[in-house]
Chains A and B, each alone.
Chain A
Amino acid sequence: MPPGDELLANQEWQPVPGAPGLRIYPYLRKIDTISSNSFILDGPDLVVCIDPGGLADQADQLAGEIARIREERPRPLLVILTHVHIDHVLQVMYHYAFKGGPGVIIGIQEDGAMAVEGKDARLMIADILGKEPGTVSVGLPLLSAREGLGIRGPTVTLVEGSCILRGERIRCQEIPLGGGESLRAYHTPGHSPDSICLRAGGILFIGDLLFATAPGVAGIRGWNLEDLIRSLDHVGILLGDEGLEVCCPGHGRPFSPATAREVLGKMATEARSLTGIAEVSPAWAKETAAYARTMMEMVNELLTVLSGRLYLVAHVLDELEESGEAERLSGMANPETFDLILSDFHDFSEEYRQGKVLDIHLALKAGQIVQKLHHSFHPKVLSTVTDATLLRRADRILSDYMTRFRGFSVRPELEEVDPGGLVRDVLEHAGRSPWTGEAIIEAAESGERYLEALVSRIAHPPVFEGIRITFTPGDGIPPVTTDTDRFSDLITGILEEFAGRDAEEIRIATSLRGRAIRLTIEARGGRTDGLSDGKKVRFLREECRVLSGELAVATSDGGAVLTITLPVQNRP
């Protein structure tokens, strides 16, 4: 549990700044998808609980505090939701203290009210988070578009109001809390249609607005880009009010209004780039989680090979009593950090495999892991030592995941390519150090240059040594429109797979099949176990799909054949 900060102490009663008649009890949580923050406001005539959250223990604690202050001075309880995503509303459905009943009234913006009363699992994102919506009776629909609706019952009064934001008249409603204090509600859709912000004294509660552009959140059902951009602008203005002292998000620690305003400003810029993102649905989460596992296995393989090569270089240099250079190289990459990060994902992935976490959680975890790897992985620095294509592939897999996780499609960079020339180019450079034997001899005159050449040679082990590789170009093969780097890396990946499996011979051939070219890569000898349903083939299939192509695999006792079919004209 976070201890809170200088703005608000966690799980302690304290005065609300700018509202002498109010006290607040914040229940702040670390950021996750299980439960939101909650807040209790103790007003002279009304007790308010904002977002009871998704956890029974949390609701028990809130209920205990509420019961105590209501026992001291009986007053109605208003349970109010910043929006009805299930991590905010679940305990309203299932906890005795928040379900409604005598002296308890539930207030939700009208769209959210309809969603909970209709048990709309999609709008509550209950389906994606694996929760079953319960029954809720909303006594106080807020900020209703329909006149007259929303002012119900004798226990809570709503006062209509408005404010001018950016020249636009924005409707708001005020809920008197007694003693001249009030809670004001503003409709701020975008993250969801029912999102509202609430102001009490010098505190603004902004729900999940701060997370609305985050990958895996942007694009959820009910998310609306146009509304979001407008709400970010409006809330930015609300945050500029001089009397405001604290901004409370729906998850994590409170912010100063200035910090929150700065974040919202950056989000507005980011939001403008989100046109056309995919809907974050259960199907999206499933597909993204599956891709996350595949890509992380490949990243793991590439980074383990890369780290192994660096260790090997350091080992050989150490043997040659060049420990200074060995240490310099060790500082270029931090294999222990890669190991820790990848191990963290593996453990999480195991929990996923055992059904303990959901698709969306794995997709989100992979997003965090990719960001951590990006911080520890510096391809430009490492490329001075080791295989640039290996680094490029690892870097691109990480970037591709973030593109998909963001809700976009991975787009190849198309150009016209001669397939035969491309294959020859791959074969010429595969597994070779840029330092030829002659260049090393020439470099011997300078100790520094010689060491550089030596390091490069050790860091480029002769992966294809001893393997007979032939290429037979087909007749009349036209240029294809494809992504040169991706196509090259696809071929390199297959060649490495076969080399890693100890193939004795690799035969490459191209042929034309209607409006597609076919590239067959056949390995003779070596290991074929686990190839056809293995991680590499799953990954290569994904890569082919990005190029609008297909991959077929056939294995036999004597070897294996991987066939790539690519359209001559690729139109993404």
Chain B
Amino acid sequence: MRAFLLRRVLAAAPLLLGSLTLLFLLLQLVPGRPFTAEAGAGVSPVAAERLRRISGADQPIAARYLAWVGGMLGGDLGYSWSERRPVADAVQEAASRTLLLTGTAIALQFAIGLGLGLLAAAAGPRLDRLLTAVAGILYSVPSFWLGLLLVGFFSVRLGWLPVSQIHSSDAGAWGTWPRLLDAARHLVLPCLALALPGAGGIALFVRDEVRAALAEGLALSARSRGLGRTRMVLRHGAGRALLAVSVLFGLAIPGLLGGSVVIETLFAWPGMGRLAYQGTLARDEPLVLGCAGVAALLVIAGSLAADVLSAAVDPRVRESLR
């Protein structure tokens, strides 16, 4: 297991380096040079030259690459001029909120997906068809649309849940429990919007996997000896479902992080996705690149965790990479 872990970590490192290199290459594709004095712009050629020297833009590309990647890896993501503070500070603050949102969403997604999938696998043909249809529809619904509909119904029409933000504006003066409740109320809608479409996909996958497991000889012989349907699913199907989930776990993270850009923006949730979006509108290159680098780090860490998870539940995975 330890050798496996070491191997996976060693394989993940070049992936991170590769993502940073990709971002750097994109940056190089931008036409024009930094601080180019255009006719009429208020920067004199002398000042532009000095700015280029201070910012290191006059260095050869290899030196700039090393400086940029080294900075990113060392935690120096540059300075965000729209936020007026170091990118690392802004991203750090936002990343914890994004982790709260996506972490809750991922737990909810797998809980609902696993439950729905196992239920459909255990159910008779009619209920199975209904549950499969529900899961298929959930899977096809855009998360941002779901978010807008949820807000329209639960916040605007019924007034039950807050429309946006991470906590109420006067929550600072409240006690611990009201504050936690307030935070939870703000989390419900964005979390559901983010989790439900993916949960539908997981349910479909889990159902098919469990059904396939139940059609195998071992399960069939157990059934012929009189094992009940529910116990069949739990004893012979649940293991397979767990394997499926450990594979899907790593695949779900990029989708959730991408989805959180839209959901955070819609719900004014002050996380990384919204930060990157605001950076995009302000054309704040260091901020957006910093967010993208951290997003890549999170995806790679997530898929590493998924690999470890699937190695922990499936001996075949451990063996295959020995």
| A and B from one complex | no
Please list the residues of chain B having a beta carbon within 8 angstroms of any beta carbon in chain A. none
Tell me the A residues contacting B by CB distance below 8 Å. none
